[in-house]
Chains A and B, each alone.
Chain A
Amino acid sequence: MNVPGERRAAQRQDLEERLRLLMIRSLEGDSRAYHQLLGELSRYLRGYFARRIGASEVEDLVQDTILAVHLKRGTYDRALPFTPWAYAVARYKLIDRLRRGRSPHVPLQDAGDLLAPESAEESAVSGDVARLLERLPTRQRKLIEDVKLQGLSIEEAARKRGVTAVSARVMLHRSLKRLIQAVGVEDR
């Protein structure tokens, strides 16, 4: 792994550890730690949601998620990392919101979320997604854009591109594999 990658991983690790300790103190009733935790968490949540739904709904969703974190904090296992737990709650709230149809369209400009950066600092690399996609043959790139970015089903995308659903599935699988390999090569 290269040096910036290592530094990023170490920063993420520090952040995780800090949030986890704040959560543990919160579960014990430390309201100052809780205030700090929710404040920090809301910043990350705002960034996470802003990349996924319309700006007008972000604040509502952040509040919903903060409330859910509060109500369901008993389901957090102190022995485990905090971030995956918070992410699972946030993701659930996002899916719930989308399912209720208040925000039926995921805006196309959120395309970078295919390889979603989870913090403001990492958002600088989101532009790389477009560059990575350019490595794919046009047909494969279009298919990825249809399915992963525009949210079409594989069947719909296959019809649009004039291929069978099975070929579309295979093509998609291969394209994703190729992207993953490309990311791996760049990281080394």
Chain B
Amino acid sequence: MKLDSLIERLAEDLAPVRPRRFWVDASIIALIAALELPLLFAVGNAQPGMRRMLTEPTMGWRLGSLGLIALVSGFLAIRSFYPTYSAQRPLRWLTLIIAICVAYGMVMAGSPASVASVIHRLNWPSGVDCAFKIVLLSIPPLIGLAVLGRSGAPTDLRRTPLLIGVAAAAWGAFVFVFDCPFDDPLYILVWYGLGCGIVMLLARLLLPRFVRW
């Protein structure tokens, strides 16, 4: 088709369009993410004795770190759905936040006395189950963000999928905190890290094709 006739047709078919709003996108994702929490409690997966658990020292670290990472990365992911936004610099700040959260956890975990104690503390059958559940809980926000990304116009097909992955993984892990019976920082760093890493890797590998336009 010639350019002139293309322009002619586009102008003829023109309909008023409502500008995309950041806060509408953010509210949709917040709703999808927030629905996971009551669902978790409704299906009876949440740990009993939640009030006591909330006073555990690692609980504040887990909820604070994961909540902050999910919030910041979700914000950046949605901003990156607009063509003029560059996530390059903000992504460095996000990396710094993640590094601080992990470092804090490592300080809490302390240095293990022996290899045997590490193996004991990691409790790998439960750990694999934890990582798997984190991946499952990350799926709804991942799909929500990916669909919004597809309807937007992200121009950075490396960083946008990564940000979607980080946001979804952090939220999945945040929700999973209420289902997790373990509070050993070493266990959390390793298995939560594995679950989040899988989600981020999947997002980085699969989403560029999906959000491309």
Contacts and interface: CB of A to CB of B under 8 A. Distances in A.
Interface of A: 26-32, 34-35, 38-39, 42, 59, 62-63, 66-68, 70-78, 80, 84-85, 88-89, 91-92, 96
Contacts of A71: 213
Residue picked from B7, B20, B152, B212, most chain A C-beta under 10 Å: B7
Interface of B: 1, 3, 6-8, 10-12, 14-20, 81-84, 152-153, 155, 212-213
B11 A73 contact: no
A85 B155 CA distance: 11
29 contacts: A27-B16, A27-B17, A28-B16, A29-B14, A29-B16, A34-B14, A35-B7, A35-B8, A39-B7, A63-B3, A66-B7, A66-B10, A68-B213, A70-B10, A72-B83, A72-B152, A72-B153, A74-B17, A74-B20, A75-B19, A75-B81, A75-B82, A75-B152, A76-B19, A77-B19, A78-B19, A89-B83, A89-B155, A91-B155
Contacts of A42: 3, 7
A19 to B, nearest CB: 15
A59 B153 CA distance: 22
A31 B11 contact: yes
B153 A89 contact: yes
Contacts of A39: 7
A85 B83 contact: yes
A63 B1 CA distance: 9
A48 B83 CA distance: 18
Nearest to B15: A29
A27 B15 CA distance: 8
A46 to B, nearest CB: 9
Given A29-B16, A38-B11, A72 B84 contact: no
Contact of B6 (A28, A30, A31, A66): A66
Given A62-B3, A63-B6, A74-B19, A92 B14 contact: no
A150 B6 CA distance: 34
Contacts of B16: 27-29
A59 B1 CA distance: 10
A74 B7 contact: no
A30 B213 CA distance: 25
B20 A75 contact: yes
B10 A34 contact: yes
A5 to B, nearest CB: 25
A44 to B, nearest CB: 13
B6 A77 contact: no
A12 to B, nearest CB: 17
Contacts of B17: 27, 73-74
Contacts of B14: 26, 29-31, 34
Contacts of A26: 14
A61 to B, nearest CB: 11
Nearest to A87: B84
A38 B19 contact: no
